[in-house]
């Protein structure tokens, strides 16, 4: 079965499966500082923590990333395994199928990842984190670099807006997201083989600051706050799916919401096809201390005051926290799965009711 790397080959997302509507944010309007659009982004970020982004200006780069992903996964398994992520909490390189737990019973995952460090992309041909196979090196300058630069700029635009709305000093997030410092920001392609019946990626919230995902087939599901129900996020052509990740939720004292999501086999007839997704993860600098920025914003201080003590203070740096969670996932066990959970540990199925995106769309 051919892989769906070309958007015009995509079979339709089926009707009749449970879908969660997301707010659609227009990136061009955000760049123009359109107040209505900024309000919409804020509602999405503080409600479900997920939104679609249109007019993001990266479609060509994304198409090339899908080609890169399919080329890289076509390498023989023994070649890919030379770049295995290992068991020590590193996520850069190749993650084979069945190497992480997807639930507390220890059920193994069905997906492959290829993950590239942003530090390596920006420093190429110098190596900062690790070396990569030929399809990565060949596409570093013409595919990975432009995708990373544009995606990074999008997330920086979001961060500036959030900074302002949270009442933080201008440039506060730039201090913990400096391009020339070591960080776990990454570019990733995820591949789900066709005809799967079990979970691809188990329930999780993302480790970092902000995530941008590009999908052509369904499979991504979110659990809306206050429910224990999984709903598909339907891929819309030309739209990215963006979400708040745990570090940003922690920095903001929980005002920005990092929601639980997972990857299941694509629904309906889409399940007969290979599924690829392209992800861009912005994460704080390795040495950034994860804590609510209460001393910088009265709004955050108030949110922390209302929360159970210690909820937004993991008491470690970004890199320590990310490696610990990845190491636990790689234990492939019930204990590992539970220990790998971040802010979602307290959240799955119990998140307080946020503003429903459906009601926001009607307003
Ligand atoms: O493949 C997707 O749609 C999302 C992947 C994801 O959630 C992740 O890699 O963190
Ligand atoms: Fe995720």
How does pLDDT run across 149-195, given as a tens digit for each residue? 999 999 999 999 999 999 999 999 999 999 999 999 999 999 999 99
For 61-81, the pLDDT digits (tens) are 999 999 999 999 999 999 999
Ligand 1 pocket, residues with Cβ under 6 angstroms: 190, 201, 206, 213, 215, 220, 261, 263, 277, 279
| Residue 191 structure tokens | 């591949």
Nearest-atom number in ligand 1 for the CA of 241 is 3
d(CA 80, CA 96): 8
pLDDT at 313 over 50: yes
pLDDT at 350 over 60: no
Task: Note the pLDDT of residue 103.
Answer: 86
Question: How far is residue 248 from each of residues 80, 221, 299, 300, measured CA to CA in Å?
Answer: 32, 21, 15, 12
Model's pTM, two decimal places?
0.92
Task: Note the pLDDT of residue 55.
Answer: 98
Q: Are the C-beta atoms of 336 and 328 separated by less than 8 Å?
A: yes
- 309 Cα: distance to centroid of ligand 1 (angstroms): 31
- 205 Cα: distance to centroid of ligand 2 (angstroms): 6
Write phi, then psi, for 60 (nearest 5 degrees).
Answer: -65, -40
pLDDT at 358 over 60: no
Question: How far is residue 171 from each of residues 162, 174, 175, 214, measured CA to CA in Å?
Answer: 11, 5, 7, 28
Q: Domain 2-361 adopts which CATH fold?
A: Jelly Rolls (2.60.120)
For 6-53, the pLDDT digits (tens) are 445 678 999 999 999 999 999 999 999 999 999 999 999 999 999 999
Domain boundaries, the chain: 2-361
């Amino acid at each position: 079965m051919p892989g769906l790397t070309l958007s015009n080959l995509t079979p339709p997302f089926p009707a009749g499966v449970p879908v969660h509507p997301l707010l659609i944010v227009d990136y061009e309007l955000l760049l123009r500082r359109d107040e209505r659009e900024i309000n919409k982004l804020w509602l999405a970020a503080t409600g479900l923590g997920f939104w679609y982004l249109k007019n993001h200006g990266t479609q060509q780069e994304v198409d090339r990333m899908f080609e890169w992903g399919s080329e890289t996964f076509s390498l023989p398994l023994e070649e890919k395994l030379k770049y295995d992520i290992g068991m020590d909490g590193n996520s850069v390189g190749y993650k084979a199928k069945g190497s992480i737990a997807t639930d507390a019973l220890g059920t193994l995952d069905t997906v492959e990842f290829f993950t590239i460090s942003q530090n390596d992309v920006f420093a190429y041909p110098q190596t900062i984190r690790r070396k990569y196979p030929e399809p990565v090196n060949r596409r570093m300058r013409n595919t990975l670099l432009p995708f990373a630069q544009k995606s990074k700029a999008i997330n920086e635009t979001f961060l500036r807006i959030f900074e302002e709305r949270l009442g933080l000093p201008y440039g506060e997030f730039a201090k913990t997201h400096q391009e020339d410092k070591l960080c776990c920001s990454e570019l990733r392609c995820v591949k789900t083989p066709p005809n799967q019946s079990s979970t691809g990626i188990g329930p999780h919230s993302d480790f970092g600051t902000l995530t941008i995902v590009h999908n052509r087939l369904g499979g991504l599901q979110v659990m809306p706050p206050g429910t224990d129900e999984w709903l598909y996020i339907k891929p819309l052509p030309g739209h990215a799916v963006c979400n708040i990740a745990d570090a940003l939720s922690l920095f903001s004292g929980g005002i920005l919401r990092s929601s639980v999501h997972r990857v299941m086999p694509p629904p309906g007839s889409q399940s007969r096809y290979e599924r690829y997704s392209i992800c861009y993860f912005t994460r704080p600098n390795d040495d950034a201390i994860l804590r609510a920025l209460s001393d910088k914003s009265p709004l955050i201080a108030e949110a922390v005051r209302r929360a159970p003590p210690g909820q937004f203070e993991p008491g470690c740096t970004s890199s320590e926290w990310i490696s610990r969670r990845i190491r636990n996932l790689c234990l492939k066990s019930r204990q590992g799965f539970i220990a790998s959970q971040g802010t979602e540990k307290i959240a799955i199925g119990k998140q307080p009711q946020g503003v429903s995106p459906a009601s926001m769309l009607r307003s």
